[in-house]
Structure 1
Amino acid sequence: MSGIHALVPVKGLVNAKSRLSARFTDDERQDLVLAMLTDTVRAALAAESIERVAVVTGDPIVADAVRALGCEVLREPAWCTSLNEALNWAIGQVNPSARVLILQADLPALTATELAAFTAASPQADRVFVHDQHETGTTALLLRSASMPFEPKFGVDSALRHRDAGVQLVEGDWPGLRHDVDTADDLDVAVSIGVGPATRAALALASATVQRG
């Protein structure tokens, strides 16, 4: 069996994380989204258990940014109308014998050590996942094989829907892996855990802009 191939799905920057708009300007919000993606991808690239990292996106700005990090890009087909459709397509591009890790793009406090620990958990299970800090969403999902028939169920209440589909919940001391960012409160929690350098820089720049204003 091949190693783990990680897929990180990313929609367009323009409308991403709209709930952060109360705290950040549109430009700051987009810069922050790209920074959180950068820290997420860097953690995945640094994880010894992961052989390949590919970002699934149709956004050229995102594609250019992750290529600069040494990450692959799977260009999302125009016919994909949802995140789950894009992921179904992307899984089909992976070596059929590889394990597949689907990883959310907004995990700024994620570490390579956490990823390695998660991917080592329940190695014989067909499908495992980690829920978010609210226990409603899914931040990471691991499939034993890309050839295994399975349709991801990301979106509202994805943790419940993945459990109902037979995916095994795995829990561990992985705060960075569990804390995705949708709101300003989520961001504050991630900062308290310790975000990566790209996110710190984006937040510092936004703060400096406010102070100058």
Structure 2
Amino acid sequence: MTGWTAVVPVKPWGLAKSRLDLPGEERMQLARAFSLDVLDVVLAAEHVDRVVVVTAETQLGTIARRAGAHVIVDRPMLARGLLNRAIDAGRQWAQVHAPAAPFVVVPGDLPALTAQLLDDALELLAAQERSFVPDASGMGTTLLAVARPALMTPSYGHRSALLHSDAGFRPTPDVDPRCRRDVDTAADLAQARHLGVGPHTTAALAQMTRVTSDGRRLRVASG
């Protein structure tokens, strides 16, 4: 199925990735890189016709508009429930502009995702009226998809995979691992780096020394 509307909800970069064991500036740079890589992916995906970025991050809004995405200026996501509210803002836009088209949420912290992998995942997700991709832990959610925006009822947050399953979304775990690797911790980042990350994330990581073998600490390169 083609003609998807993709909504990308993004926290202000200075508020994002608080669980990464990094100084604030480095966390912000990685959050920026993640979201720019995801933006590039959804804009390049063949099955995606419309991209909606919902964010209070003004720099991202400017970049997204110039790239051809529609931007909804949102309040800063200071609580988990506001992520679902941001997604609903994107759903409302899609309900007006493409009410019969399939609709997918693509979180802004999937740095290993590629356009081809997103297209492949959308083909699988389209088999069900409501579907989702569990994250790498199996407890959370990365992609969340519906056949039309009126069906979208997001429950991102703690144990969202269970919540989405209980709400009637069908799990679709048999996708490439890069579709499931969101990044909240240094261990997640080490795994994403092993899978291969996008150019913005690669450049941000080049400013840092390394992820240690146990993934617990990322140190910033001096100079």
TM-score (normalizing by structure 1): 0.90
Cα deviations across residues 128-168 of structure 1 (Å, max 9, x unaligned)? Answer: 100000001100011100133x4211111000000000100
Q: Output one character per residue of 1:2-30: Cα deviation in whole Å (capped at 9) or x when no partner.
A: 8100001012222210111x2x3211211
The question of whether the paired residues in 1 share the 8 Å contact of 2:133 and 2:172 is answered with: yes
Q: Which residue pairs with 1:57 in the alignment?
A: 55
1:122 and 1:179 map into 2 onto residues whose CA distance is 17
Question: Is it true that 1:47 corresponds to 2:45 in the alignment?
Answer: yes
- 1:23-172 → structure 2 map (5 Å cutoff): 24-76=22-74, 82-94=82-94, 95-148=98-151, 150-172=152-174
Distance in 1 of aligned mates of 2:87 and 2:156: 10
C-alpha distance in 1, partners of 2:92/2:86? 10
1: CA distance, partners of 2:85 / 2:175:
31
Give the Cα separation in 1 of the matches to 2:185 and 2:125: 31
Secondary structure in 2 aligned to 1:92? helix
Q: CA deviation at 1:69?
A: 3.8
Q: After superposition, what is the alpha-carbon deviation per residue over 1:98-141, rounded to whole angstroms, capped at 9, x for unaligned?
A: 21110110000001111111111153421110000000110001
How much has 1:211 moved relative to structure 2? 3.9
Q: CA deviation at 1:66?
A: 2.8
Q: Which residue type is aligned with residue 87 of structure 1?
A: I
User: Aligned partner of 1:135: which letter?
Assistant: G
Closer/same/farther in 2, CA of residues 154 and 199 from structure 1, 3 Å limit:
same
TM superposition shift of 1:175: 1.3
One-letter amino acid of the structure 2 residue matched with residue 166 of structure 1: G
1:12-70 Cα offsets, whole Å, 9 max, x none, are: 222210111x2x32112111101011111111111111111121112212212333444
1:8 alignment partner, SS class: strand
What is the root-mean-square deviation of aligned Cα atoms in Å? Answer: 2.3
Mean Cα displacement is larger for which, 102-111 or 36-45? 36-45
* Residue type at the aligned position of 2:27: R
- Give the partner amino acid of 1:59: E
Q: Contact conserved, 1:55 with 1:63, CA < 8 A, in 2? A: yes
Counting only pairs closer than 5 Å after superposition, residues 171-210 of structure 1 correspond to structure 2 as 171-207=173-209, 210=220
1:5 equivalent in alignment to 2:13: no
In 2, Cα distance between equivalents of 1:178 and 1:75: 27
Unmatched 5+ stretches in structure 1: none
Q: Percent identity?
A: 38
Deviation at 1:78, TM superposition (A): 7.8
Aligned residue identity for 1:50? V
1:212 aligned partner: 222
Aligned equivalents of 1:48, 1:74: Cα separation in 2: 23
Look up the equivalent residue of 1:89 and give its one-letter code: A
Structure 1 residues 73 and 122, CA, compared in 2 at 3 Å: closer, same or farther?
closer
Aligned partner letter, 2:119: A
Equivalenced residue count is 210
8 Å contact kept, 1:2–1:97: no
